[in-house]
Amino acid sequence: MSAIDHDAAPLPSGEPRPAPVPAPPLSTPLPAPARPRWPQRLRAAGMRLGLTTLAGLMLAAIVHIVTILLIPALSQRDAAYAYRELGAEGNAEIVPLARGSGSLPALQEADPDVVTAVCAYDLAAGPVRVVARTGTLPLGLTLQRQGGGVIYAITDRAAIRGVLEFLVLTEAQYDERVANDEEGETSRELRVVSDTERGLVVARVLAKRPSDRGDAEALAGGVRCGPAG
């Protein structure tokens, strides 16, 4: 016997059926709203879980990208923050390679055979002139901007009569300098535009033998970085 037949069977007690409700005019009675069955409920719940998971994954992608982009701007463990005070005297200062040597944080992933000296610059006070004397040991100078990225790199092979010299300026300071150049004359100074006001001048000298270390420290620590006249 089917469920429908069962529903249609007369009441077992034999009581008379309640009087039928008067039918609405012109139409048959509306069927009562069917209750969702289990498979349908499961499907709806699955659909909802899928949609919310998809939304969660999209949010995760956004959070991932924003976090990756914000890390350099917010980091207080990076080199630009750790070495922001160096070079205030107008000379690059040598940074430690191992922990526990001085108050400065040690440089990570550094070559133990290389002497590194750092000088922080802030272009808000005007352009900065960097002057390095070269010697027999390989010397490299880089400009590392705050927030990551090496904006300029030069080695001592570009030195003229044993001196490497360049000017670090912002775009506006560069334009001003070009406007002040003598008409018809070529400026001989090397100008490097930094797109951030703050950054680090990094001098690296390779000490090929342990006995070269003194010379390397003198070369790296002898890099001058002061306000340009």
Partner 1 sequence: MRILDLAYILGLGAGLGLVSAHWAVAGRPAVGKVEVGAWMAWPGSGSRGVDPYMRAYLARGVHLPLGAGEGVELIAERSDDGAHLDGRCRYRLSGSVPTTRGWTLGVTDGAGRPFALPLDRASFSDAEIVRGEDGALSIVAAAAPQAGNWLPLPAAGRFQFRLRLYDTPVSSQTGETRAANLPRIARLDCR
- Taking the C-alpha atoms of residue 168 and residue 135, their distance in angstroms, rounded to an integer, is 23
- Counting contacts by CB under 8 A, is residue 149 touching partner 1? yes
CA torsion 99-102-108-114 (nearest 10°) is -110
- Identity of the residue, 54 or 227, whose beta carbon is nearer to partner 1 in the bound complex: 54
- Taking the C-alpha atoms of residue 59 and residue 50, their distance in angstroms, rounded to an integer, is 14
Distances, alpha carbon 216 to alpha carbons 111, 113, 163, 210, 213, in Å = 13, 10, 16, 10, 5
Mask: binding to partner 1, 114-143, rule CB under 8 A, as x and -? x-x-x-------------------x-xxx-
- Identity of the residue, 71 or 181, whose beta carbon is nearer to partner 1 in the bound complex: 71
- Counting contacts by CB under 8 A, is residue 147 touching partner 1? yes
- Residue 148's CB: how many other CB atoms inside 10 A? 14
- Counting contacts by CB under 8 A, is residue 223 touching partner 1? no
Total residues in contact with partner 1, by rule CB under 8 A:
59
Binding site for partner 1 (CB under 8 A): 48, 52-53, 55-64, 66-69, 71-72, 75, 77-79, 82-83, 105-114, 116, 118, 138, 140-142, 144, 147-155, 157, 200, 202, 204, 206-209
